[in-house]
Amino acid sequence: MTREEAIAVLKNTAWLGTEKTLQKVEQAIETLEPKTASWMPVTERLPEIPKGIKEYINFEKEKDVAAEEYIVMIKGAKKPTTLYWTEDGEWWDLDNRDQYDVTAWMPLPDPYEEI
């Protein structure tokens, strides 16, 4: 059974159970349905300060800085890339150690898992 078939079965049989069963079915459907992130303009909101330590960067600074990776659109770019948002409120490319002007961002998707 595919993910889509499982969702259809759950949707079509949910009404057969109790209220508690219906809630569990709705939770299962929400878990199975693909989650799509949407672009967030930096003028509307910036990512939260990195929680926990995802990565440490230390260039042109006297201390290590916590950073978290995001999918971003760089000003003037034609396609998205990934950069790191730091606890200092800056966007960095760790490979070439450049800082960028980002216009929009979104979280990375969950890693692929076989079902």
In this structure, the dihedral spanned by the alpha carbons of residues 57, 95, 102 and 72, taken in order and rounded to 10 degrees, is -100
pLDDT digits (tens, 9 = 90+) for 29-84: 776 666 667 899 999 989 887 665 555 555 555 556 678 889 999 999 999 999 99
Asked if residue 66 is part of any domain, the answer here is yes
Q: What is the pLDDT of residue 56?
A: 56
What are the CA-CA distances from residue 70 to residues 10, 29, 52, 59, 60 (Å)? 33, 27, 15, 19, 22
Do 7 and 28 sit in the same domain of this protein? Answer: yes
Q: Same structural domain for residues 88 and 52? A: yes
Q: Do 54 and 22 share a structural domain?
A: no
Does one domain contain both 16 and 49?
no
Q: Examine the domain organization and report whether 10 and 44 are in the same domain.
A: no
Q: Count structural domains, the chain.
A: 2
Domain-located, residue 72: yes
Structure confidence at residue 32 (pLDDT): 66
At residue 72, the 3 state secondary structure works out as strand
Q: Flag whether 113 is in a domain.
A: no
If you search the block for the tokens 């606890």, which residue do you land on?
87
Is 106 within 8 Å of 39 (Cβ atoms)? yes
Task: Specify the pTM.
Answer: 0.61
Tell me, yes or no, whether 16 and 63 share the same domain. Answer: no
Same domain, 64 and 100: yes
Q: Domain range holding 45?
A: 40-107
66 shares its domain with 88: yes
Mean pLDDT of 93-114: 88
- For 13-28, write each residue's pLDDT tens digit: 766 667 777 777 777 7
57 and 15, same domain (yes or no): no
pLDDT of 48-57, one tens digit each? Answer: 876 655 555 5
Same domain, 11 and 49: no
Band the pLDDT of 10: cuts 50, 70, 90.
Answer: confident
